[in-house]
Amino acid sequence: MNALSPPTIGILAGMGPRSTAPFIDLVVTECQNQYGARDDIDFPRMLICAQPAPFYEDRPVDHAALEAAILDGLHTLENAGASFLAMACNTAHIYYPRLAASVQVPLLNMIELTVAAAPTSGPRVALIAARPTAESNLYQQGLRTRGLEMVDIDWQSDIDHLVGVTRTSTDPILLRRLWKGLTARAAKARVDTLVVACLDLSAILSHLGTGFPILDASHCLAQASVQRWLNLRGAKMPAASSAP
């Protein structure tokens, strides 16, 4: 990238397909919140790759195939000129060390960003994530290290069902009913905070009504993406006031 060219955010999304647009909306909102973006020219240049991936709700993950698809998407963004990369998919972060080593530009880590945004102690938290993410234990390990008490609830099948429904239905009544089933179980387990680490669910949170404080991984990634872009813009572009 030319030293004076504008920095570009590379966003790997499409996993699942309906989560792409809501994540871009989060990035746009972060621009408004962080530096008062208003006019079209105020917003970042973004490259978006909605990458088809071999992920199925009803069968085991083929990790080699999924990692290969994700890496293909990252290379597409890198080759197109992205200054850094953000993966709008929690499950993709299972492969983060190898993926980060396979690209030449920085790759944000949504799990680390979310853990860093958690309070250092106090709340009892429960994780809501797609099965591969939950079974990787990456969030649980990070949050426990942060000093949080993880509440283990036997609800993965219910979460899997809700994630599957988001891919086939936009019925708000159905989605709210399934979500309320999860929050009722969280309340019974005396959970204080829900950590939502699934972009399919992050995409519909605003329509559900939570009843709980939410630590949403997608928000953490959107915030960090804009912060990184601002840092690069300050380092690589002359201020407008200095132009002759």
Mean pLDDT of 188-214: 87
Task: Kindly report the number of other CB atoms within 10 A of residue 1's CB atom.
Answer: 13
Predicted local confidence at residue 243, as pLDDT? 34
Count Cβ neighbours within 10 Å for each residue of 44-80 and write b for 16 or more, e otherwise. Answer: bebbbbbbebebeeeeebeeeebbebbbebbeebbee
Alpha-carbon torsion angle 215, 20, 30, 111, nearest 10: 40
Predicted local confidence at residue 244, as pLDDT? 30
One-letter amino acid at 47 equals L
For the domain bounded by 8-109+220-242, which CATH number is listed? 3.40.50.1860
216 vs 72: CA distance, rounded Å: 26
4 vs 29: CA distance, rounded Å: 26
3-state secondary structure 185-238: HHHHCCCCEEEEECHHHHCCHHHCCCCCCEEEHHHHHHHHHHHHHHHHHHHHCC
Predicted local confidence at residue 236, as pLDDT? 53
Residue-wise pLDDT for 45-54, tens only, equals 999 999 998 8
Predicted local confidence at residue 240, as pLDDT? 41
126 vs 194: CA distance, rounded Å: 5
Percent of residues, the chain, with pLDDT higher than 90: 74
Name the band, by pLDDT with cuts 50, 70 and 90, for residue 17. Answer: confident
User: What global pTM score does this model have?
Assistant: 0.91
Name the band, by pLDDT with cuts 50, 70 and 90, for residue 119. Answer: confident
> Tell me, which fold does domain 112-217 have in CATH?
Rossmann fold (3.40.50)
Domains in the chain: boundaries: 8-109+220-242, 112-217
Active site residues: 89, 198
Predicted local confidence at residue 242, as pLDDT? 32
Residue-wise pLDDT for 67-118, tens only, equals 999 999 999 999 999 999 999 999 999 999 999 999 999 999 999 999 999 9
Residue-wise pLDDT for 151-198, tens only, equals 999 999 999 999 999 988 888 889 999 999 999 999 999 999 999 999
